[in-house]
Amino acid sequence: MQKQEPLVSVSMITYHAQDFIAEAIEGVLNQHVDFPIELVIGDDCSKDGTRAICEAYAAKHPGVIRVLPEEANMGIAANTARTMGNCTGKYIAVCDGDDIWTDPLKLKKQVAFLEQNPDYGVVYSDVVTISESGARIGDADQDNIRKMYQSGSVFLDLLQSNFINNSTAVFRRELLKGHVVFPDRSYQIPDYLRWLHIAARSKVYFINEKTTAYRRHGNGLSLNVPKALLRGNWRAFQRSLFRILPEFDRHNNQKLNPQEKKLIFQKLLSLVWRPAGSLAMKWQAMRLLPRYFPGMQHSLSLCKTKLLRTIPAPARHNLTMNLFATNSMASISRMESITLLVQEQLIYTL
């Protein structure tokens, strides 16, 4: 009997999750669906019992569960790319190896929506947060994310902060075309960059239901992030914008308001200003700047902030304080000097 091709591939990456991986797999197997699915597990060379548990489940469910061959430890970005690259379904659903799908109808509802709405590329939902032991806990970070949930053309809001819960999402595999994953260990936000890539060319839908248990534990990626990784996340975000912003420009057919233009202009100017990126990439960003020009006043303010940051911090501080204290400089008002002083203190600009 010929094997049916899966409509949905579940991508599950895992590392040192022997205490959680069985619950994650069971959450997938417990889905009530009337279409074929596959579970593709990418274990990143765990040294505990994670791989043995995965292989035992694969032996019980041949044709449904595939455990990818063991390779050298790759890190989250490369392992995610490898696992999704081995998915064959029309849709890819994500479930990290320490999370749990708690709604047995999750996949059925999400796939039904995507089948009926071809202009949508991703469906995601709400979560409950659980502890290492599985107890439900409060989560102030998730409460803040919850305030940002929305549907439709969400790219510009997503550009400011990620609000798509990774282990709840189902998306069209074809939308991975052209998506570039940097296969290094310097960052840990491949999911966010993937959602930006997809949202730049399609709409996003939110199901207001808690379908998934998101686990917070000591080995999780969201807790105690080292400063080096935070810097790496920012660099990866900037590198990705060289591709993502032109994609948004090509696919967007909605008129932007002044604030939305300002946001895109700011991000493009940042790409031109910062050292990362080739001359060809910077030229592409520069060509888009006139289309999103927000007006002279805002442009001058941005340039002034950038010029200030080229001055060494002590000299910059003295300059702004002297400008504030001096009455003889008719060309610069006290209010402008205060503005400069505030700009000097900015940690996050473009």
DSSP-assigned letters across all residues of 245-278? HHHHHHH--SPPPHHHHHHHHHHHHHHHHSS-S-
Q: Give me the pLDDT at residue 209, please.
A: 98
Is 80 exceeded by the pLDDT of residue 283?
Answer: yes
Q: What is the pLDDT of residue 348?
A: 37
Predicted structure pTM score: 0.85
How many residues make up the chain in this entry? 350
pLDDT tens string 296-315: 777 676 666 666 666 665 65
DSSP 6: P
- Flag the least confident range among 142-151, 191-200, 201-210, 251-260: 251-260
Cα 203 to Cα 47: distance, rounded to the nearest angstrom: 40
pLDDT of residue 342: 38
Backbone angles phi, psi at 235, to 5 degrees: -65, -40
Sign of the Cα torsion 96, 101, 107, 109 reads negative
Distance, in Å, from the CA atom of 246 to the CA atom of 269, rounded to the nearest integer, reads 13
**What pLDDT is recorded for position 200?**
97
Look at residue 343 in the predicted model and tell me its pLDDT: 40
The two structure tokens encoding residue 128: 């409950």
Q: How far is CA 254 from the centre of its chain?
A: 23
Q: How far apart, in whole angstroms, are the C-alpha atoms of residue 15 and residue 223?
A: 16
Query: Are the beta carbons of 22 and 99 closer than 8 angstroms?
Result: no
Q: Which of 203-207, 267-271, 300-304 has the highest mean pLDDT?
A: 203-207
Please name the residues in contact with 119: beta carbons below 8 A apart, sequence gap of 6 or more.
Answer: 202, 203
Contacts (Cβ under 8 Å, ≥6 apart) of 36? 4, 5, 6, 7, 8
Write down the H helix ranges in 225-344.
Answer: 227-251, 258-273, 279-288, 296-309, 313-325, 334-344
> pLDDT tens across 30-56, in order?
999 999 999 999 999 999 999 999 999
Has residue 318 got a pLDDT over 90?
no
Nearest CA to 225 out of 349, 138, 141 is that of 141
- The model's confidence at residue 17, banded by pLDDT at 50, 70 and 90, is very high
Encode pLDDT of 209-260 as tens digits: 999 999 997 765 566 678 899 999 999 999 999 999 999 999 999 999 989 9
Predicted confidence at residue 105, as pLDDT, reads: 98
Task: Indicate the SS3 state at residue 22.
Answer: helix
**pLDDT the model gives residue 331:** 45
For the cut 70, the answer to whether the pLDDT of residue 320 exceeds it is no
pLDDT of residue 350: 38
In this prediction, residue 273 carries a pLDDT of: 87
Distance CA 127, CA 146 (A): 9
Q: Indicate if the pLDDT at residue 85 is higher than 90.
A: yes
Question: Would you list the DSSP string of 170-239?
Answer: EEEGGGGTT-----SSS---HHHHHHHHHHTTSEEEEEEEEEEEEE--TT-TTSS--HHHHHHHHHHHHH
More confident residue, 321 or 328: 321
Decide: helix, strand or coil at residue 293: coil
Q: What is the tens place of the pLDDT at every residue in 161-172?
A: 999 999 999 999
Q: What average pLDDT does the structure give for the chain?
A: 87
Q: What integer is the mean pLDDT of 186-192?
A: 95
Residue 158 has pLDDT above 90, yes or no: yes
**How far is CA 16 from each of CA 43, 45, 86, 114, 131, rounded to the nearest angstrom?**
9, 8, 21, 33, 16
